[in-house]
Amino acid sequence: MAEPRYRQIERIVRNRITAGTYPPGSQIPTEKELAAEFEVSLITTKRALTELADQGLISRKRGSGSFVKPPTKKVVETPAAPLRTYYLDPALPFLWQTLHTAPLPPHRFLALSDPLPEKKTNPVILVTPELPSEKIYSLTNKDIPFVLTTTTQHSLPVPQITFANAEIAGLLHEVTQLRTGDSPLPVYYDDAGDTPLADQASAQARYLGMSQAFGTVHSLPITNDSPAGVYVFNQRSRLLAFLRKQKHAAAQRVYYFLITYLPTTAAVQLQQDMLPWGVQLINFDWTAMLLATKAWSGTMAPWQQTIPPRFVTGG
């Protein structure tokens, strides 16, 4: 059966629109011009243009003619990100004060001591210096996806965001390039710490990293006259107590470093306070760790990310 003439004209004009012969916004030939081109009646060309208008390809304006419509932009609806629940350790009070300014996906904050959901629900983020073994066990049993954000990487098959403790050695190496002759400065490390923010797991991880980088890491000397070297502390109170006992000359090559876990602004302020003591801060930022959770897919697929330490500068 032969194709009706109006269908033929409709198809030809549609192909011209698709090919760009009649670009968006342009006027296409009138009914009379098309009738002359295809040697048909005005009724036939009017039927063809009506079909194209019904398909949304052209718009018809009385007294003005027919015009090609711009292509319709398809609106792709992005599924809403699932609400994420952050369980924060109360040992991080400064984080509670700053977390509301962090640009995170849809979320809510609870204390680490709050009960977990009773059944499978939206992703959970555990934020704590210590390893929350009971929470991990409960979430795993309930098949709730979670990411562990803590100070030290653990040998667990779960998504983790941790501080890159071993990278402390790389920062200290920049200082130990200052040599006397061919002898590098010795490294003295105080691996003690009795607060959650200077947990033993992180301190030991840093000790291992420095041992691998420098061969020998010394314990703090018991003398009140510190020998030349690089001194690394995990706790401010222990550092200040050590400094108050020292009688070394200002010109002696002694370098003091303090490991901190603070938001950038707080770390900068503390650095200013420690300048009279000649102490340089190396900071791990919990807020940066919080922001790193945005990259987590929300599943239990193997995934790890580390947050590097930074020398604190500025004022």
DSSP 38-61: HT--HHHHHHHHHHHHHTTSEEEE
Order of strands, edge to edge, in the sheet holding 107-111?
Answer: 107-111, 84-88, 124-127, 146-150, 160-163, 304-307
Give the span between the Cα atoms of 293 and 147, in whole angstroms: 8
Residue 168's closest CA among 210, 199, 202, 208?
A: 210
Rounded to 5°, angle at Cα 47 from 46 and 49: 65
User: In terms of domains, do 150 and 108 share one?
Assistant: yes
Q: Which of 68, 95, 119 is the last residue of a domain?
A: 68
Give the span between the Cα atoms of 148 and 142, in whole angstroms: 16
Alpha-helical regions (H) of the chain = 5-19, 31-38, 42-54, 93-98, 133-141, 168-176, 200-214, 236-244, 264-274, 286-292
Start-to-end C-alpha separation, the chain: 86
Give the span between the Cα atoms of 289 and 314, in whole angstroms: 21
Residue 150's closest CA among 87, 212, 213, 100?
A: 87
User: In terms of domains, do 157 and 298 share one?
Assistant: yes
φ and ψ of 91, to 5 deg: -70, 0
Give a yes or no: residue 236 inside a domain: yes
Q: Which of 39, 68, 97 is the last residue of a domain?
A: 68
Per-residue pLDDT of the chain (315 residues; tens, 9 = 90+): 577 888 888 989 988 888 888 888 889 998 889 889 888 898 888 898 988 988 888 988 887 889 999 877 666 666 666 788 999 998 887 777 777 777 887 888 899 999 988 888 889 999 998 889 999 999 999 999 999 999 998 899 999 999 999 899 988 887 777 554 556 788 999 987 766 666 788 888 899 999 988 888 999 988 777 788 889 999 999 999 999 888 755 546 788 999 998 888 889 999 999 998 989 999 999 889 989 999 999 999 999 999 999 999 865
Order of strands, edge to edge, in the sheet holding 187-190?
Answer: 217-218, 187-190, 229-233, 254-260, 279-283, 310-311
* Residue matched to tokens 């030290």: 152
User: In terms of domains, do 213 and 297 share one?
Assistant: no
HEC assignment per residue over 139-175: HHHCCCCEEEEECCCCCCCCCEEEECHHHHHHHHHHH
What CATH number did the domain enclosing 227 receive? 3.40.50
User: In terms of domains, do 209 and 270 share one?
Assistant: yes
- Helix/strand/coil for 293: helix
User: In terms of domains, do 98 and 154 share one?
Assistant: yes
User: In terms of domains, do 102 and 247 share one?
Assistant: no
Asked if 306 contacts 162 with a C-beta cutoff of 8 angstroms, the reply is: yes
Give the span between the Cα atoms of 129 and 205, in whole angstroms: 14
User: In terms of domains, do 50 and 130 share one?
Assistant: no
Q: Which two tokens stand for residue 302?
A: 């193997």
Residue 258's pLDDT is 94
Give the span between the Cα atoms of 1 and 254, in whole angstroms: 99
User: In terms of domains, do 304 and 155 share one?
Assistant: yes
Give a yes or no: residue 147 inside a domain: yes
Give a yes or no: residue 188 inside a domain: yes
List all residues 6 or more positions away from 169 whose beta carbon is below 8 Å from its beta carbon. Answer: 206, 209, 210, 212, 213, 214
User: In terms of domains, do 110 and 60 share one?
Assistant: no
Give a yes or no: residue 135 inside a domain: yes
What CATH number did the domain enclosing 33 receive? 1.10.10.10
User: In terms of domains, do 120 and 176 share one?
Assistant: no
Residue 292's pLDDT is 92
Q: Which of 68, 97, 113 is the last residue of a domain?
A: 68
Give a yes or no: residue 187 inside a domain: yes
User: In terms of domains, do 171 and 257 share one?
Assistant: yes
Give a yes or no: residue 42 inside a domain: yes
* Total count of domains within the chain: 3
Give a yes or no: residue 58 inside a domain: yes
User: In terms of domains, do 197 and 271 share one?
Assistant: yes
- Residue numbers of the domain that contains 153: 84-164+288-310
Give a yes or no: residue 73 inside a domain: no
- Helix/strand/coil for 130: coil
Rounded to 5°, angle at Cα 168 from 165 and 174: 165
